[in-house]
Amino acid sequence: MPVKNEERVIERLLKALVNLDYPNMEILLIEDGSTDSTPAICQKWAEKYPSLINYLHSSTSNGKPSAINSAAKGATGEIVAIYDADTILEPSTLKKIIPHFKDPNVAAVQGELRTINPDESVITRLAVINDFVVDIQQLGKDKLNIFVPLLGTNQYIRRNVLAEVGYWDSEALSEDTEISVRLVRGGYKVKYVPGATGVEAPAKLRVFISQRMKWLRGYTQAVMKHRDMLKTLNRRTLDACLTLIFPIMLILGLVGYVGALCSVFLTPAAIPFLQVIGMVLLVLNLLTPVMFVSANPRSAIYVPLIYLDWILLASVSLYVHVRALLGKPQRWTKTPKSGHVTVNIG
């Protein structure tokens, strides 16, 4: 568990970790250059559970990938689990996850994530849309045995596989995505397991945008690093490529949709082809909220958020990639946590 300035949430997770119903585990707690009371809290819990918690302190911070690398390389267990400080775990979490490693073909497992503070703000309600979409995507990818990306927390990897692929890239903006690509290139299988584990979503627009900038640029960074993977083309590497170009497709989709709208209302009748395309796209666009509401009529209140989420993501993707073209650096940033919980995921 890597932590930095997590005084609002860290004790909640530490309490959950020491109460996990599992017979043989160690907790590697990596405190990474905090400036609040996080180190004192970590020290207190390590002293209370000396045989369970191994507390590692660093006076300087080099980001999450470096922190989890330093801990994972010293781990003694067969399976390495990664939890962010805002994660909410049930006591039975490990007993639900670890049995999937009985399949020797499974190198890693990603557990389901669900937002614990959807009622905190309009921005956190967007996370509910993301939860819904990601869960369906991951279930489908798992069923089809294609590219299942790891999601940063509630993720589990065999320690020997970590050593083989070289651990996490300390320079990666989205270290979970990047190592997922190396796993699929190595022929390893990643399993997705439903059963919600809670995580906190950003409640402020500035934090939301900063987090998405890192994720979206991280996707493009990963596809550029592994652009040669299509030389060994198979259905997993092909799906990985299609997944990683998602930020670019967001930009093209936004530009294309604006163009379609303009064609409906502004194109002269002499060019009806563009008007037909525009009308088709508008109809297809309306199918998304229709399907969403048909699954649960109460979800109608989220329909405006579907469009808001898409426009925000596409706009952020456009901004971050224009910055990239201009040579502006994108640094790894920590997402601050408030500790708010507005729903019970159990």
* Global confidence as pTM: 0.88
The better pLDDT of the pair 270, 183 is held by 183
Residue partners of 330: CB distance under 8 A and separation at least 6: 173, 213, 214, 217, 320, 323, 324
Range 248-266 average pLDDT: 76
346 belongs to a structural domain: no
Residues 165 and 292 in one domain: no
Q: Which residues pair with 284 in a beta bridge?
A: none
User: Mind giving me the DSSP string for 5-43?
Assistant: S-TTTHHHHHHHHHT---SS--EEEEEES-SSSHHHHHH
Output the pLDDT for position 330.
80
How many structural domains are present in the chain?
2
* Single-letter amino acid code for the residue at 50: P
Strands of 79-82's sheet in order across:
79-82, 155-158, 106-115, 189-199
**What are the tens digits of pLDDT across the range 11-45?**
999 999 999 999 999 999 999 888 999 999 999 99
Boundary (domain end) residue, out of 209, 244, 279:
244
Neighbouring residues of 29: CB distance < 8 A, sequence distance ≥ 6: 1, 3, 14, 42, 45, 46, 53, 54, 55, 56
For residue range 271-304, list pLDDT tens digits in order. 566 666 666 666 666 666 666 666 567 667 667 7
For residues 218 and 251, state if they share a domain. no
Domain that holds residue 220: 2-244
Q: How many CA atoms lie within 13 A of 256 on its CB side?
A: 12
Residues 203 and 267 in one domain: no
Residue 147 has which token pair?
A: 């590219």
The mean pLDDT of the chain is 88
If asked whether residues 251 and 234 sit together in one domain, one would say no
pLDDT value at residue 133: 85
- Are 87 and 184 found together in one domain? yes
Residues 218 and 228: their CA atoms lie apart, in Å, by 17
Note whether 199 and 66 are same-domain residues. yes
Average pLDDT (167-178) is 94
CATH number of the domain bearing residue 131 = 3.90.550.10
